[in-house]
């Protein structure tokens, strides 16, 4: 008489998708567990304070001494020959960046729901890093929108004159949403986030961010002080999100001195191997 064995049926794809999505969201709000998070918090506060103080001082100097001169040197708004710049500047638009990253996260969840074991774990680790980049931009952009509304700075030549002190707080329209620059916020948040995960890309990413910053000036969408303020908000926002992830042991480790570093591991190489095995007959 042979012993019969039974195995529990594997949950359906929809249940797997819900499980994957639920775990991905739950990890973001779980209780911080890293033993060195206090050191990292102190370092974050110190760096954010110094960066904000230096940035605020530079914004004030630019506003007083340079904004008016710079916008008068730029080509007129709507100049036909600037069409390549108008295309290029959209690569720093937060709605576009968040849409691409959001679509990538959704696609990753659908693929991971059909995998098991190490392949799923590897793909989800990539998803955690995408979550970090997404939230770095989203949180920074949210803060920037609040600041735009509270400050209400007019864009260059709103009102007909090159007046860098044209403010209408709580006005809430695009004409008075110049400070900080939303494109600069998104570009520098993206540059910082990607560089935090993959330091070798730092030069490339910050070059991209500076190019986006310059397009906003050439198109007379912002004053120089606006884009500097945007860069500051984007970087500080991404720094805060990085701390949130590190405190929960997500994508980052914390050294004894509080320095946050990306988790070690050849994710890219392993991911290629997984993709190859998954596509094999």
Residues 165-186 pLDDT 10s:
999 999 989 999 999 999 999 9
pLDDT of residue 8: 53
Residues in the chain, overall count:
281
- The residue among 1, 32, 51 whose CA lies nearest residue 246 is 32
pTM, full prediction: 0.90
Q: Are 256 and 39 in contact (CB under 8 A)?
A: yes
Residue 279 pairs with which residues in a beta bridge? none
- The residue among 234, 60, 69 whose CA lies nearest residue 156 is 69
pLDDT of residue 273: 46
Structure tokens at 205: 């990413």
Which value, to the nearest 10 degrees, does the dihedral of the CA atoms of residues 105, 111, 115, 117 take? -20
Structure confidence at residue 125 as a pLDDT band (50, 70, 90): very high
pLDDT of residue 10: 65
pLDDT of residue 78: 87
Structure confidence at residue 271 as a pLDDT band (50, 70, 90): very low
Q: Residues 213-231: what's their mean pLDDT?
A: 97
Q: Are 62 and 224 in contact (CB under 8 A)?
A: yes
Spatial distance between the Cα atoms of 138 and 157, rounded to a whole number of angstroms = 29
- The residue among 96, 127, 97 whose CA lies nearest residue 110 is 127
Q: Is it the case that residue 6 has pLDDT exceeding 90?
A: no
Q: Are 86 and 219 in contact (CB under 8 A)?
A: yes
Spatial distance between the Cα atoms of 129 and 1, rounded to a whole number of angstroms = 53
Q: Residues 70-98: what's their mean pLDDT?
A: 95
Report which of residues 274 and 131 the model is more confident about: 131
Spatial distance between the Cα atoms of 103 and 15, rounded to a whole number of angstroms = 20
pLDDT of residue 9: 61
Spatial distance between the Cα atoms of 140 and 145, rounded to a whole number of angstroms = 9
Backbone angles phi, psi at 173, to 5 degrees: -105, 165
Spatial distance between the Cα atoms of 275 and 231, rounded to a whole number of angstroms = 36
Q: Residues 120-129: what's their mean pLDDT?
A: 93
pLDDT of residue 274: 41
Report which of residues 269 and 57 the model is more confident about: 57
């Amino acid at each position: 008489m042979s012993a019969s064995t039974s195995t529990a049926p594997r949950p359906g794809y929809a249940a797997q998708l819900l499980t994957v999505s639920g775990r991905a969201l739950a990890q973001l709000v779980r209780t911080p567990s890293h033993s060195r998070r206090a050191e990292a918090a102190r370092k974050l506060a110190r760096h954010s304070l110094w960066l904000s103080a230096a940035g605020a001082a530079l914004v004030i100097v630019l506003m007083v001494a340079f904004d008016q001169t710079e916008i008068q040197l730029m080509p007129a708004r709507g100049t036909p020959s600037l069409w390549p710049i108008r295309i290029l500047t959209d690569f720093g638009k937060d709605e576009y960046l968040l849409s691409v990253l959001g679509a990538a996260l959704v696609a990753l969840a659908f693929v991971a729901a059909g995998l098991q074991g190490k392949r799923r774990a590897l793909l989800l680790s990539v998803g955690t890093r995408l979550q970090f980049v997404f939230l770095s931009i989203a949180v920074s952009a949210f803060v920037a929108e609040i600041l735009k509304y509270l400050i209400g700075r007019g864009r260059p030549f709103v009102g007909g004159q090159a007046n860098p002190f044209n403010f209408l707080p709580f006005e809430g329209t695009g004409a008075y949403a110049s400070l900080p620059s939303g494109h600069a916020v998104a570009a520098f948040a993206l540059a910082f986030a990607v560089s935090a995960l993959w330091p070798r890309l730092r030069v490339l990413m910050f070059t991209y961010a500076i190019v986006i910053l310059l397009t906003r000036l050439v198109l007379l969408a912002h004053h120089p002080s606006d884009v500097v303020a945007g860069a500051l908000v984007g970087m500080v926002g991404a720094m805060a999100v990085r701390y949130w992830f590190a405190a929960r042991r997500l994508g980052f480790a914390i050294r004894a001195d509080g320095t946050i570093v990306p988790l070690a591991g050849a994710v890219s190489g392993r991911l290629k191997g997984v993709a190859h095995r998954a596509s094999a007959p």
